[in-house]
């Protein structure tokens, strides 16, 4: 029984391949963060090593050891956290270590599974080393490369993998999954489903994690107060966020998504579209905000926000991109 929610095409294709005994040596799972790529990679590892009648059963010893992260033949290679905080990339030493590991026969299971997540974090030298391993794939080894930025990876690596595209889930489907599989109360399921923007992984983590809701709360305080602040204050904010961007780009992009959702909600609240708002728990505040801003200005700001996100993705000077955004904030009445 495959547990991955949504992503039916990828699951069906994997199942077909396994049933016919012809899995690929390397897979590339492409899609936005937290939509199930890592979950499906682990399920594939379970399916390849399961002792149950219907792999992946989730119940047998290998399935449980894999789910618990203690199976000797299933390894996740990721950016390591060192003394000075997280490193920026996956190093050549890590990939060389993988090369040594995969030259050995599986230790306790039938198949070694090496998950590289995020695969785009491999630096130049690491990608070169990995390419060599991929060119002469050892038997009994399956690689799963996970990325939300496939173009940051060499085409020669991508072309050697069987590629699956993952997409964000429809909000209704996600809400249903939260209620039925994770027993989340209906109102909270509705809020989390909308806040998650189709990322089930985020919603599942957020239901328990006060830190994630705190980050959201703090971001919303900034979002609401910045239009009132002086230009110096706004530039100080831009500079602070730009500094964070160089260390932790994922979090900063997520904060900019909160910005988009918030201003989109302000627009919806001013046009009677309350049913579609994301920040369901803040409906009253949104209504008051909607009265304070000219819809035309909000629309212009949303455009500027989209442009800033594009510039950040293209690695334009982050501080400059954010300063432009600070100048384009709507003016309260």
Binding site for Zn ion (CB under 5 A): 50, 52, 57, 60, 63
SS3 258: helix
Residue number with CB closer to Zn ion (40 or 254): 40
SS3 22: coil
Q: What is the β-pairing status of strands 81-82 and 141-147?
A: unpaired
In Å, the largest CA–CA distance within the chain is 69
Residue number with CB closer to Zn ion (14 or 63): 63
Least distance in angstroms from the C-beta of 101 to Zn ion: 23
Q: Locate tokens 């994301």: which residue?
A: 278
Residue number with CB closer to Zn ion (106 or 150): 106
Residue number with CB closer to Zn ion (57 or 79): 57
- Report CA dihedral (221, 222, 227, 228) to the nearest 10 degrees: 70
Least distance in angstroms from the C-beta of 49 to Zn ion: 8
Residue number with CB closer to Zn ion (47 or 329): 47
> What are the beta bridge partners of residue 324?
none
Residue number with CB closer to Zn ion (60 or 134): 60
As a whole number of angstroms, the distance between CA 49 and CA 55 comes to 8
Least distance in angstroms from the C-beta of 66 to Zn ion: 9
State both tokens at 237: 């904010």
DSSP state of 148: S
Cβ–Cβ under 8 Å, residues 252 and 241: yes
Least distance in angstroms from the C-beta of 110 to Zn ion: 12
Least distance in angstroms from the C-beta of 48 to Zn ion: 10
Order of strands across the sheet that contains 26-30:
74-77, 112-116, 141-147, 26-30, 162-165
Cα-trace Rg, the chain: 22
Residue number with CB closer to Zn ion (47 or 238): 47
CA 181, 184, 189, 195 torsion: positive or negative?
negative
Least distance in angstroms from the C-beta of 53 to Zn ion: 9
Residue number with CB closer to Zn ion (60 or 171): 60
Least distance in angstroms from the C-beta of 18 to Zn ion: 13
Nearest one of 115, 127, 116 to 152, comparing CA atoms: 127
Alpha helices by DSSP H, listed for 20-168, are 37-49, 61-67, 92-102, 124-135, 155-158
Least distance in angstroms from the C-beta of 87 to Zn ion: 34
């Amino acid at each position: 029984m495959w547990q991955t929610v949504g992503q039916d095409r990828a699951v069906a294709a994997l199942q077909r391949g396994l049933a016919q005994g012809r899995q690929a040596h390397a897979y590339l799972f492409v899609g936005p963060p937290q939509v199930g790529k890592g979950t499906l990679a682990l399920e594939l590892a379970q399916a390849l090593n399961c002792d149950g009648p219907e792999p992946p059963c989730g119940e047998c010893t290998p399935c449980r050891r894999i789910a618990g992260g203690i199976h000797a033949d299933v390894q996740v290679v990721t950016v390591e956290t060192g003394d000075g905080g997280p490193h920026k990339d996956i190093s050549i030493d890590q990939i060389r270590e993988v090369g040594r590991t995969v030259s050995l026969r599986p230790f306790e299971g039938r198949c070694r599974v090496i998950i590289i997540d995020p695969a785009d974090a491999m630096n130049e030298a690491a990608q070169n080393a990995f390419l060599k391993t991929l060119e002469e794939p050892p038997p009994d080894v399956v690689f799963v490369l996970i990325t939300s930025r496939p173009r940051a990876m060499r085409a020669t690596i991508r072309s050697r993998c069987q590629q699956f595209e993952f997409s964000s889930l429809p909000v209704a489907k996600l809400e249903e999954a939260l209620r039925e599989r994770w027993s989340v109360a209906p109102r909270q399921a509705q809020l989390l489903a909308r806040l998650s923007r189709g990322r089930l992984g985020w919603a599942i983590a957020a239901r328990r994690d006060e830190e994630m809701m705190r980050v959201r709360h703090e971001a919303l305080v900034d979002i609401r107060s910045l239009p009132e602040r002086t230009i110096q204050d706004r530039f100080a904010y831009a500079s602070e966020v730009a500094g964070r961007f160089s260390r932790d780009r994922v979090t900063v992009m997520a904060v900019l998504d909160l910005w988009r959702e918030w201003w989109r909600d302000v627009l919806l609240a001013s046009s009677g579209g309350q049913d579609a708002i994301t920040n369901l728990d803040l409906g009253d505040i949104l209504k008051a905000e909607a009265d304070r801003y000219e819809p035309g200005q909000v629309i212009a700001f949303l455009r500027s926000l989209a442009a800033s996100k594009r510039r950040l993705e293209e690695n334009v000077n982050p501080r400059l991109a954010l300063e432009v955004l600070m100048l384009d904030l709507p003016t309260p009445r």
